[in-house]
A and B are shown apart, each in its own frame.
Chain A
Amino acid sequence: MPTDLSQPLGKKYSLLRRRSLLMWSASILSVCFFLSNGDGTSAADRNDKPSAAELEFFEKEVRPLLAANCGECHGADEQWAGLRLDSRASLLGGGESGAAIVPGDPEKSLLIAAVRQTGDLQMPPDGKLDDKQIAALERWVAMGAPWPAGDGLAEDERAAAQRRHWAFQPITQPALPEVSDGGWCRTPVDRFIFAALDARGLKPSTPADRRTLVRRVSYDLTGLPPTPGEVEAFVQDEDPEAYAKLVERLLSSPHYGEHWARHWLDVARYSDTKGYVYAREERVFVHAAAYRDWVVRAFNEDLAYDRFLLLQIAADQAAPDDPASLAAMGFLTLGRHFLGVNVDIVDDRIDVVARGTLGLTVACARCHDHKYDPIPTADYYSLFGVFQNSAERLVPLPTPKLDDEMSVEYDKELQSRKTKLIEGMASAREDAAKRVRERLAEYLTAQLEIGKYPEEAFNQVYSKADMIPKFVHHWAAYLRRAGRANDPVFVPWSRFAALSAEEFAARTSQMASEIATAGDEVHPLVRAAFTEPPASMREVAERYAKLFLEIEQQWQELVKNAPADTKPERLPDPAAEALRQVLYAVGSPCVVPDEEIVSNEQFFDTDTINSIWKLQGDVERWLNESPDAATHTVALLDRATLNEPRILRRGNPAAKGDEVPRQFLKALSPAERQPFQQGSGRLELARAIIAPDNPLTARVWANRVWAYHFGAGLVKTPSDFGLRAEAPSHPELLDWLAQQLLTRGWSTKNLHREIVLSAAYQQASTAPAGDEVHAATAAAARLADPENRLLWRMNPRRLSFEEWRDTILSSSGELDLAIGGRAKELFPAHDKNVRRTLYGLVDRQFLNPAMRVFDFANPDLHIPQRSETTVSQQALFAMNHPFVAEQARALVTVVEAEAAGDPVKLAARLYRAAFQREPSESERQAAIDFLAATAADAPSGPPAETLAWSYGYGEVLAAEGRVTFEPLPHFSGAAWQGGAQWPDAALGWAQLTADGGHAGNDLQHAAVRRWRAPRGGQFRIKSTAQHEVAAGDGIRCWIVSSRQGVLQTQTLQEATMLLEVDSVALEAGDTIDFVVDFNADLNSDQYLWKATIEEIEAPANDATAGANASEVAAATWNSVRDFANKSPEYLDPWHQLAQVLLLSNELMFVD
């Protein structure tokens, strides 16, 4: 809170009274602050040598009292009004209102005034201390507030610890440790690893065998398994450079970029959709694929990491000549939309940038200074100002122009939709501005009670007749800027506004005469308006409004009288024109900023917002339907009018605090920190992040790359390098790797080489079987370093979800290795997706359940490391999802040909495809035994229950008690119908699905679901039929038995009905038909009808015992469950074997 001591109490207080409950304590303390003259430190500070008695008094009477009564709101966890009362330093330092105590002077101490509760000041808020307690505090302050030495230094110590913290020290140039390793070390990395092991008396493991190594490095660099051929070639390759050559091949593979892009997309909280949006908005991003593909390209081209970051944060300014690089800005614009709440969108951007690039949890400082790291709240709002002053803009990417007819048509439609949007927005802006100009008096007087107008207005529905809160705040910001700039138009406003209500009467004449004599400092027309002293601030507002209204009328007059083909540009009188500018210029407080609806919607009434979003949605939907992948991106551009950021106390947009400059973090800046100079400061922010002397950026990236290779970082928390993070396991190694980035052009590929060519990386993860010496060494190491922080072995790892799915597709030979393009549902119901998992749709609102259960990165959040859980839902997916079964089938199909009918060979081929190795003798035998056992009892074809049903069309011949039946010839994957097109030319609308169907076009084409009794007995029929729509005349439902005739018939329209038959006696082969025909009028005749048929008594067991026992047990048929499709349901024994291999741990884990 600004501390203007010249202001008397009353005014300050009345302002404070308007503040929210949240700020109540701050207000009270502020009042007190003036009472006490604010001089918290001038009184004698006599804490040099508190006596033992004084300290005892403090410990017994004061410390417990402070802790019990004040600690909850002013302690380590919460600091209301920025105040802590748990150390002497913080009492002296005070909160937002200054010092809480003046040692030696209780009467001047805020704390004492607060607890006495004699004035407006009442602490603690929920009661009053008893007299004895108050007296104790008074006595303690009078003593000079003794506090044990050292205790009160916590703040300083913390600051010192922050300064000493390793991550903030410059990156060193560590010398390579001298080691006597018997030739183990291959690269500089190894020297560091070996030295640390050696210091603990540990030894590295044996080198991994070549088969393991090629599999490991292939997955690490490309996310794909090597082919069996590649494994063999590497195993056989005697060239000493074979491994280095393999690494080069993998690094130059286009699939390298795909795999490492996915790591970065976890950091960038990538999603193809916006998250929850109101129904008015298109929910799929137009530009996600463009960003994802840009990241893939950046890795493949080994784009320097500093440039990689620069473009993602500020491509608009760093590469103005390269529009393609704007795709990089998806990093900032692909976050959640947070229901349009701007402060949360900005927060998300701060978080992704700060944790993603710097490993700093800056977002912790949103509500209070960071509790551990040197990040004051002010720093958070400095960055807030950068993103607050940047707005989204939909921009086209350079894409190859195609001249074919389709593209031309597409472009034409796109242009037409864009034009509608532009025109819609232009007229909405014009209308909104017009309404504000018409109600200027109200918007100006609203400034006097601005607390009535919510900051983020999304919570209310506004009509055109309502005052729009955003404009009230827009005016406030404008007046604030004008005041600071001594804008001659608003000098009187600022001066009068500085007066409290009480002093207004006393000072207004003097003010008026000062204004009258101010000369050019005050705009002449405004000056003239204030020759008479106004009686209140309200009158000031009204005079301004009147003046502006006159100007507006002059202007309208001029426009009206202008010749038809000319548009006036200005008012003839320059003074009047200057005032008109306030109403009309870019940046005018009456004008909606020329931005997109995503950033300026709060300036509009609800109907307008919806209509513009619809136009925006029309454009976005068309872009999302384009035949090409993303052709547009959403960039951030600096705003036309910049607003200085203000601290939002406790993160509350309604509790605005001091202004802060847009600037970089204090902890990473030189002592003379300079505010950003250009626009929003985003480019300068990006440059500060990638500056070579920034101690964090290179370290953070080196550590991430290391972590993705080894399964754990040198720093275990890749996105938190703050004081609470564990120190690096190998600090010099981390610096050495960071130096590699700095001195080798920020090359990520180079970093990979340094890591994967090391002996440390090439170690075995497990002692070779039968090697007791190494097993003993490993056992010792496991005891000394169970977490393997020192890397005495390689960490084995589990495949990620993407790697596992890609591996299955790769084994079966189905994997489509095309690069880039639009995302597609991973497991489409009636289609196949065999692209890499990277290209599967990431829908943050409806994340594919398979992705969720397999620990895919939550796309709502920046994810530095994925969780790794093992839950049975993963196994259920593996066992039961059609995807795995289909791939098992495909795998068998591929190797079948090679095996030429030899089962031993076929089994071996399956092993080779899945594991890139031959099976052992016991594995071969297990496979053969499995096949033999399975073949013996494998049922062929669909289950018996399914076979009981058939699907056709026909006519109910009620009189004869029978139904004609012809099968429906075509199965679409979801429905039986007349042909591939529905309705069918011949058979019309007749259709049957799992749940129901559609009646045919006439009574001869009723939809007939037929059940045939497999054996005789008593059966019960339960069914629920539903017709949902009011239109038409409904449907007729029939249940007809071939033995007893019509059992049930009902007409159904917009209703649900139970159709049941308690008992019906049937012989084997009898049928029950569930028939629906149209009622007479072919209109809306679709329906739902689910039926179950239960056997009332199970048949005698002996008749059909034996091999078919399972069929006998099934006594219920369910029309939905049993709905058949054409595909043969069961995996054959070979398929089953192949599926087992795809489910195995050997496939899932990498040694």
Chain B
Amino acid sequence: MPYDRRTFLQRSGMGLGALGLAGILGEAGLTPSAASAASFGSQPTRQHYAGKAKRVIHFFLNGGPSQVDTFDHKPMLAKYAGQPIPETLATERKTGAAFPSPFKFRPYGQSGIEVSDIFSRIGEHVDDIAVINSMFAHLPNHEPSLMLMNCGDSVQPRPSVGSWVLYGMGSENQNLPGFIALCPGGYPIKDAENWQAGFLPGAYQGTYVDTQFEEVERLIENIRSPHATTAMQRRQLDLLGQLNAEHRASRSDPRLDARIESFELAFRMQMAATDAFDLEREPQHIRAMYGEGVHARQTLIARRLLERGVRYVQLWHGASQPWDHHSALEGGHRDLARQIDQPVAALLTDLKQRGMFDDTLVIFGGEFGRTPTVELSADGNSLLGRDHNQYGFSVWLAGGGVRGGTVHGATDDFGFKAVDQPTSVHDLHATILHLLGFDHERLTYRYAGRDFRLTDVHGKAIGNILA
């Protein structure tokens, strides 16, 4: 039965024997033979058009950074300080009066977009950034909102954005996982669900790396042998190759070749991973530009990974939900912003000087925003913090295909709810896929009788932030 290339690829990963396998191997770069290597190799396999971005780095400020303290300046809050605002929307907990931002905002760059002082270094790059100030999610709770932002559905197990992208584009470096999630100190809430492959094959799942560690063997599973030297392994693999070749001689099954090749790849991966995670190999001035601390380190690691062809890197702020400042927001936000402001700004500079900025998509944001009103304790006192807010929040994009120096949409006068050009998480996802060369309605995977897509039945790419 003849198959065209499209059918062939659609069948990949369906567990249907050799044919399906070849597709997977193709995208994972583990091609069974030279012939198919030519057809599948590292070529993007499912894109619908040439995307401007080729790779993604996503800073995930988990916990819910406050829009009115970062990128959505609302002077009205100062006018209403301590007074109730006209309409307070229901969120997870009770909130009271308007709570003006404790931070100063000022315009940056040619575009004059206002940014809070706590992100002053990022502010210096604002002409390269498109701020979406009209994001909204569905529920004021971390768990469903994390799932929505990462996987496009609040509750159902669905593949994450990174898994979809890897499924759509493959990886350019076969010696490293194609989708890596960096998070220092443990998992964010919802754990590995945030980078799950869902119904896609497990190979598309994000690989979790705990960047609190520095030794490569604690960063990547099984990357070092505790029981053999490199020389010993080489000799073992030579013998293995010999046995496998003999076994292969009387059989015709491309899976056999694929598995033979996978051992050679693994052998090389041990070196490649060590290299990618070893910041000692960066010159001092680069390290200094990113600064001190775990965020500087993981951002620089991320850049090294992207440089080596890793498709999707997600950097989490930390275990659990660090940005979740229900109380004492001023100090909390200031401290966390200080940890990432310099590394993120350094990354933008660094990508530019390496010529990678124009084809790297940078995403920056959390799972939702925070209320412009102050959170109250059980007995009705101000906690000097803000509750979760799904009605309106900010996310920014920069790099590949993004029109810098733009602001898309707006919240109301107080920053509570997106009112101008409300942008759903599905819209954001459609935009991300668009920038990478996908029509979000056509990047699909057949599961349980349906052609599923990242955006379910929603989403529209945001036209006016595209370059």
Contact of B15 among A338, A339, A865, A875 (CB under 8 A): A865
Determine if B155 and A338 form an interchain contact, defined as CB atoms under 8 angstroms apart: yes
Which residues from chain B contact A875 at a C-beta distance below 8 Å? 259, 262-263, 265-267
Asked, given contacts A766-B251, A852-B205, A867-B202, whether A872 binds B233 with beta carbons under 8 Å apart, the answer is no
Query: How far apart sit A865 and B447, CA to CA, in the bound complex (Å)?
Result: 11
Contact of A712 among B16, B144, B251 (CB under 8 A): B16
One of A522-530, A582-590, A855-863, A980-988 contacting the partner:
A855-863
Contact of B19 among A461, A786, A849, A879 (CB under 8 A): A786
Determine if B30 and A361 form an interchain contact, defined as CB atoms under 8 angstroms apart: no
Determine if A867 and B263 form an interchain contact, defined as CB atoms under 8 angstroms apart: no
Which residues from chain B contact A786 at a C-beta distance below 8 Å? 1, 19
Determine if B247 and A868 form an interchain contact, defined as CB atoms under 8 angstroms apart: no
Q: How far is the CB of A463 from chain B (nearest CB, A)?
A: 7
Determine if B17 and A855 form an interchain contact, defined as CB atoms under 8 angstroms apart: no
Determine if A77 and B457 form an interchain contact, defined as CB atoms under 8 angstroms apart: yes
Per-residue B-contact encoding for A1105-1132, CB less than 8 Å = 1, 0 else: 0000010000000101100000001110
Query: How far apart sit A876 and B252, CA to CA, in the bound complex (Å)?
Result: 25
For residue B351, CB closer than 8 A to chain A, the reply is: no
Which residues from chain B contact A372 at a C-beta distance below 8 Å? 449
Of residues 79 through 116 on chain B, the ones whose CB sits less than 8 Å from some CB of chain A are 90-93
Of residues 1 through 47 on chain B, the ones whose CB sits less than 8 Å from some CB of chain A are 1, 13-17, 19-21, 24-25, 28, 30
Determine if A344 and B156 form an interchain contact, defined as CB atoms under 8 angstroms apart: yes
Which residues from chain B contact A77 at a C-beta distance below 8 Å? 457
Query: How far apart sit A460 and B144, CA to CA, in the bound complex (Å)?
Result: 13
For residue A829, CB closer than 8 A to chain B, the reply is: no
Q: How far is the CB of B401 from chain A (nearest CB, A)?
A: 24
Instruction: Count how many pairs of residues, one from A and one from B, have CB atoms less than 8 Å apart in the complex.
Output: 256
Determine if A869 and B203 form an interchain contact, defined as CB atoms under 8 angstroms apart: yes
Q: Identify the closest chain A residue to B387 (Cβ).
A: A461
Contact of B202 among A869, A1137, A1139 (CB under 8 A): A869
For residue B337, CB closer than 8 A to chain A, the reply is: no
Asked, given contacts A276-B190, A861-B157, whether A461 binds B93 with beta carbons under 8 Å apart, the answer is yes
For residue B352, CB closer than 8 A to chain A, the reply is: no
Query: How far apart sit A347 and B248, CA to CA, in the bound complex (Å)?
Result: 46
One of A487-495, A1011-1019, A1076-1084, A1141-1149 contacting the partner:
A1141-1149
One of A8-16, A54-62, A229-237, A716-724 contacting the partner:
A716-724
Query: How far apart sit A765 and B18, CA to CA, in the bound complex (Å)?
Result: 13
Per-residue B-contact encoding for A441-475, CB less than 8 Å = 1, 0 else: 00000000000000000111101000000000000
Contact of A1136 among B217, B218, B232, B267 (CB under 8 A): B232
Number of interface residues of B (CB under 8 A): 88
Query: How far apart sit A846 and B190, CA to CA, in the bound complex (Å)?
Result: 10
Contact of A852 among B28, B202, B246 (CB under 8 A): B202
For residue A43, CB closer than 8 A to chain B, the reply is: no
For residue A64, CB closer than 8 A to chain B, the reply is: no
Asked, given contacts A78-B457, A339-B155, A461-B92, whether A870 binds B262 with beta carbons under 8 Å apart, the answer is yes
Which residues from chain A contact B448 at a C-beta distance below 8 Å? 351, 355, 361, 363-364, 719-720, 862
Per-residue B-contact encoding for A371-392, CB less than 8 Å = 1, 0 else: 0110000000000000000000
Of residues 836 through 859 on chain A, the ones whose CB sits less than 8 Å from some CB of chain B are 845-847, 849, 852-853, 855-856, 858
Determine if B19 and A1140 form an interchain contact, defined as CB atoms under 8 angstroms apart: no
For residue A336, CB closer than 8 A to chain B, the reply is: yes
Determine if B449 and A922 form an interchain contact, defined as CB atoms under 8 angstroms apart: no
Which residues from chain A contact B381 at a C-beta distance below 8 Å? none
Of residues 369 through 425 on chain A, the ones whose CB sits less than 8 Å from some CB of chain B are 372-373
Query: How far apart sit A765 and B251, CA to CA, in the bound complex (Å)?
Result: 8
Q: How far is the CB of B179 from chain A (nearest CB, A)?
A: 12
Query: How far apart sit A575 and B146, CA to CA, in the bound complex (Å)?
Result: 54
Q: How far is the CB of A1108 from chain B (nearest CB, A)?
A: 13
Contact of B222 among A796, A798, A873 (CB under 8 A): A873
Number of interface residues of A (CB under 8 A): 106
Contact of B239 among A769, A858, A880, A930 (CB under 8 A): A930
Asked, given contacts A861-B199, A868-B20, A876-B223, whether A339 binds B266 with beta carbons under 8 Å apart, the answer is no
Determine if A787 and B157 form an interchain contact, defined as CB atoms under 8 angstroms apart: no
For residue A1151, CB closer than 8 A to chain B, the reply is: yes
For residue A18, CB closer than 8 A to chain B, the reply is: no
Contact of A865 among B14, B217, B262 (CB under 8 A): B14
For residue A820, CB closer than 8 A to chain B, the reply is: no
Query: How far apart sit A866 and B248, CA to CA, in the bound complex (Å)?
Result: 24
Asked, given contacts A276-B143, A870-B258, A1130-B229, whether A926 binds B243 with beta carbons under 8 Å apart, the answer is yes
For residue A938, CB closer than 8 A to chain B, the reply is: yes
Per-residue A-contact encoding for B225-244, CB less than 8 Å = 1, 0 else: 11111011101100110111
Which residues from chain B contact A254 at a C-beta distance below 8 Å? none
Determine if A879 and B233 form an interchain contact, defined as CB atoms under 8 angstroms apart: yes
Determine if A880 and B223 form an interchain contact, defined as CB atoms under 8 angstroms apart: yes
Determine if A1145 and B259 form an interchain contact, defined as CB atoms under 8 angstroms apart: yes
Asked, given contacts A861-B157, A872-B269, A933-B235, whether A1121 binds B215 with beta carbons under 8 Å apart, the answer is yes
Per-residue A-contact encoding for B101-135, CB less than 8 Å = 1, 0 else: 00000000000000000000000000000000000
Which residues from chain A contact B223 at a C-beta distance below 8 Å? 876, 880
Determine if A853 and B251 form an interchain contact, defined as CB atoms under 8 angstroms apart: no
Q: How far is the CB of A309 from chain B (nearest CB, A)?
A: 20
For residue A874, CB closer than 8 A to chain B, the reply is: yes
Of residues 57 through 99 on chain B, the ones whose CB sits less than 8 Å from some CB of chain A are 90-93
For residue A795, CB closer than 8 A to chain B, the reply is: yes
Of residues 152 through 206 on chain B, the ones whose CB sits less than 8 Å from some CB of chain A are 155-157, 174-175, 177, 189-193, 196-199, 201-203, 205
For residue A939, CB closer than 8 A to chain B, the reply is: yes
Which residues from chain A contact B466 at a C-beta distance below 8 Å? none
Per-residue B-contact encoding for A705-743, CB less than 8 Å = 1, 0 else: 000000110001001101011000000000000000000
Query: How far apart sit A880 and B225, CA to CA, in the bound complex (Å)?
Result: 4
Per-residue B-contact encoding for A762-802, CB less than 8 Å = 1, 0 else: 00011001000000000000100111110000011010000
For residue A507, CB closer than 8 A to chain B, the reply is: no
Of residues 243 through 274 on chain B, the ones whose CB sits less than 8 Å from some CB of chain A are 243-244, 246-248, 250-253, 255-256, 258-260, 262-263, 265-267, 269-270
Q: Identify the closest chain B residue to A345 (Cβ).
A: B155
For residue B140, CB closer than 8 A to chain A, the reply is: yes
Determine if A1149 and B253 form an interchain contact, defined as CB atoms under 8 angstroms apart: yes
For residue A1102, CB closer than 8 A to chain B, the reply is: no
Determine if B222 and A876 form an interchain contact, defined as CB atoms under 8 angstroms apart: yes
Determine if B227 and A1140 form an interchain contact, defined as CB atoms under 8 angstroms apart: no
Which residues from chain B contact A882 at a C-beta distance below 8 Å? 226-227
Of residues 317 through 346 on chain A, the ones whose CB sits less than 8 Å from some CB of chain B are 336, 338-339, 341, 344
For residue A626, CB closer than 8 A to chain B, the reply is: no
Q: How far is the CB of B193 from chain A (nearest CB, A)?
A: 6
Determine if B240 and A1143 form an interchain contact, defined as CB atoms under 8 angstroms apart: yes
Which residues from chain A contact B314 at a C-beta distance below 8 Å? none
Determine if B255 and A871 form an interchain contact, defined as CB atoms under 8 angstroms apart: no
Which residues from chain A contact B15 at a C-beta distance below 8 Å? 855, 865-868
Q: Identify the closest chain A residue to B457 (Cβ).
A: A78
Query: How far apart sit A711 and B202, CA to CA, in the bound complex (Å)?
Result: 19
Determine if B229 and A1145 form an interchain contact, defined as CB atoms under 8 angstroms apart: no
Asked, given contacts A459-B141, A720-B449, A1145-B256, whether A870 binds B215 with beta carbons under 8 Å apart, the answer is no
Q: Identify the closest chain A residue to B252 (Cβ).
A: A766
Q: Identify the closest chain B residue to A862 (Cβ).
A: B448
For residue A898, CB closer than 8 A to chain B, the reply is: no
Determine if B243 and A1140 form an interchain contact, defined as CB atoms under 8 angstroms apart: yes
Which residues from chain B contact A920 at a C-beta distance below 8 Å? 246
Determine if B262 and A872 form an interchain contact, defined as CB atoms under 8 angstroms apart: yes
For residue B334, CB closer than 8 A to chain A, the reply is: no
Given contacts A845-B193, A1145-B243, could you give 9 more A-B pairs where the C-beta distance is less than 8 Å?
A373-B449, A853-B203, A858-B157, A858-B197, A868-B15, A872-B266, A876-B270, A879-B266, A934-B235
Q: Can you report 14 A-B residue pairs in the complex whose CB atoms are below 8 A from each other?
A: A458-B141, A711-B17, A716-B16, A765-B251, A853-B202, A869-B25, A870-B30, A872-B265, A876-B266, A885-B226, A926-B242, A937-B231, A1130-B227, A1136-B235
Top 6 A-B pairs ranked by shortest CB distance? A361-B449, A875-B266, A867-B201, A860-B157, A872-B266, A872-B265
